[in-house]
Amino acid sequence: MLNVEEQKGVKTADVVIVGGGVVGLAVARALAHARAGRIALVERGQLGMEASHAAGGMLAAQAECDRADAFLDLACASRDLYPALAEALLEETGINIELERTGTLYLSFTDEDERETSHRYEWQTAAGLAVERLTAYEARELEPFISQTLRSALRFPLDWQVENRRLVAALATSAAKLGVRLLTGTNVESLLIERGRVRGVETSRGRIDAGAVVIAGGAWASSLMTEGAGAIQIEPVRGQMLCFDARALAARHVIYSPRGYLVPRMDGRLLAGSTTERAGFDKRVTVEGAHTILTHALEIAPRVGRLSLVDAWSGLRPRVADDLPVLGASTQTRGLFYGVGHYRNGILLAPITGELIAEEMMSGTASPLMKPFTLERFHHAGVHS
């Protein structure tokens, strides 16, 4: 399927990207478009088979957001890149990433849910964002299988979804066509740093010399995070997912409650998520996790109980202590860049991460959009020694 290769012969590159999920692939593609030279992407397993594969693909810049801040700006900017990205990837690779633009519903079932959604409606309207308030009747007109216990809903017309597994395939194919060397089954064991400058990486298959390295290793990035004597840790946070055959429901919107979500795919599958668990690198699907997801899915739509369960999986979200991504240049090592800690928003933020890191690497300047997410914030918070 994908055009990937083993490390054979790759001893030098201009840029090495560590990590072959959607973030690493988006960075690779953006750098290739910017003509950054010889680019090698090194992935310990297979491309996009970790969090990128497990994700639901929701582009929920607004639905999952609690306040107007720099993160909202970043999330909306990335979401807004998707229509052009979907077209470009189709053109470059023939792969349709199934950008589905019906929108997202956010449901309220209790007094507390209604307080939360009213607050979200108020501040998002005041911020000029697109959000509609729906009665239960109006929401059930859109998706008739929603529970009759529904009280009200919000609709976010610009929060879309993509098929994240197709996105991986399209980004990888595009990057390969642009000349990126995609090296799978290769673990980056350490960074090569001399006199405050990155010189490349030591991998399980040998050394690759490079003038710049981008770390985009998802939940596995911590071992290469040397800043502040390892003070910045990336923690794996497990999210389990169930998948149903839901052709009978003909659902179209992504549907959230404050407790869970349903994501309808174009092929008739319906994903239900998720859990938020500290379980280390354990990727099991547990009975308890499945029970939690089912409880929340059935609250949204009792008819889920009559569907066939066809698949279940889990993934590891990469979380930094403040829940925000770490983007851009190292504060200690020249030539070293980070695109890590995307936590619940890797699919959403991959396009803007690629653009911003490529822009900083090519121009030497960090975009104002990226500045709140650089390592500087940990200096200000006194995390570093």
Kindly state the smallest distance separating residue 274's Cβ from ligand GLY, in Å: 4
Kindly state the smallest distance separating residue 21's Cβ from ligand GLY, in Å: 14
Q: Which residue is nearest to ligand GLY (CB)?
A: 344
Kindly state the smallest distance separating residue 23's Cβ from ligand GLY, in Å: 14
Q: Are 37 and 235 in contact (CB under 8 A)?
A: no
Cβ burial, residue 111 (10 Å; 0-12/13-18/19+): exposed
Kindly state the smallest distance separating residue 171's Cβ from ligand GLY, in Å: 19
Nearer to ligand GLY, 48 or 273 (CB): 273
Kindly state the smallest distance separating residue 58's Cβ from ligand GLY, in Å: 6
Nearer to ligand GLY, 102 or 187 (CB): 102
Nearer to ligand GLY, 79 or 181 (CB): 79
Return the closest-CA partner of residue 101 out of 156, 152, 145: 156
For 109-170, give the DSSP string: -SHHHHHHHHHHHHHHHHTT---EEEEHHHHHHHSTTS-TT--EEEEETT-EE--HHHHHHH
Looking from the CA of 98 toward its CB, the CA atoms found within 13 Å total 19
Nearer to ligand GLY, 181 or 238 (CB): 238
* Token digits of residue 30: 């953006």
Nearer to ligand GLY, 159 or 227 (CB): 159
Kindly state the smallest distance separating residue 159's Cβ from ligand GLY, in Å: 11
Kindly state the smallest distance separating residue 263's Cβ from ligand GLY, in Å: 9
* Token digits of residue 63: 């639905």
Kindly state the smallest distance separating residue 7's Cβ from ligand GLY, in Å: 32
Nearer to ligand GLY, 299 or 359 (CB): 299
Type of residue numbered 109: F
Nearer to ligand GLY, 69 or 323 (CB): 323
Nearer to ligand GLY, 181 or 319 (CB): 319
Q: How many residues make up the chain in this entry?
A: 385
Reduce the DSSP state of residue 88 to 3 states and report it: helix
Nearer to ligand GLY, 58 or 358 (CB): 58
Q: Where does this chain bind ligand GLY (CB under 6 A)?
A: 56, 58, 239, 273-274, 317, 344
Please state whether beta strands 206-215 and 197-203 pair in parallel, antiparallel, or not at all (unpaired): antiparallel
Kindly state the smallest distance separating residue 349's Cβ from ligand GLY, in Å: 11
